[in-house]
Amino acid sequence: MQTTESLTEIEAVVRPHLKFLEEGDQLSPDQKLGEAGLDSMASIDLLLDIEERFDLAIPDDLLTEDSFSSLAEIAKMLEAARKS
C-alpha cells in the first residue's frame, strides 16, 4: 500500500500547469491555483498527469468544483481516492 503523497510531490506535478507561476515563485498549500494560471483545460491535463504519476484513477464523485483549487485540496482528493 502506498503512503499519502506529500505536498512536495503534488506540487511537482501541478507546477507545470500553472502558467502565471515563475520557476522560483513560492506555492503555499492553500494558494488558489486559478490565480496561478490553472484554468479548466489545464485542470483536465492535470487530472491525467496526477492519475498517471500516482498510479490511481480518481472516481468521478471526488471531482468537484474545488478539487483543483489548491495543493491542499488535491492532497485531500488523492487521500480519498486511495481509500475508495
Q: Please provide the average confidence, as pLDDT, over all residues in the chain.
A: 93
Please report the pLDDT score of residue 47 as a whole number.
Answer: 98
Is 80 exceeded by the pLDDT of residue 16? yes
* DSSP letter for each residue of 12-78: HHHGGG-TT--TT----TTS-TTTTT--HHHHHHHHHHHHHHTT----GGG--TTTTSSHHHHHHHH
Is 90 exceeded by the pLDDT of residue 2? no
Distance of alpha carbon 16 from alpha carbon 42, whole angstroms: 10
Instruction: State the DSSP code for 1.
Output: -
Distance of alpha carbon 38 from alpha carbon 13, whole angstroms: 12
- Domains of the chain with CATH codes: 7-83 (1.10.1200.10)
The arithmetic mean of pLDDT across residues 34-40, rounded, is 96
CB 54 within 8 A of CB 10: no
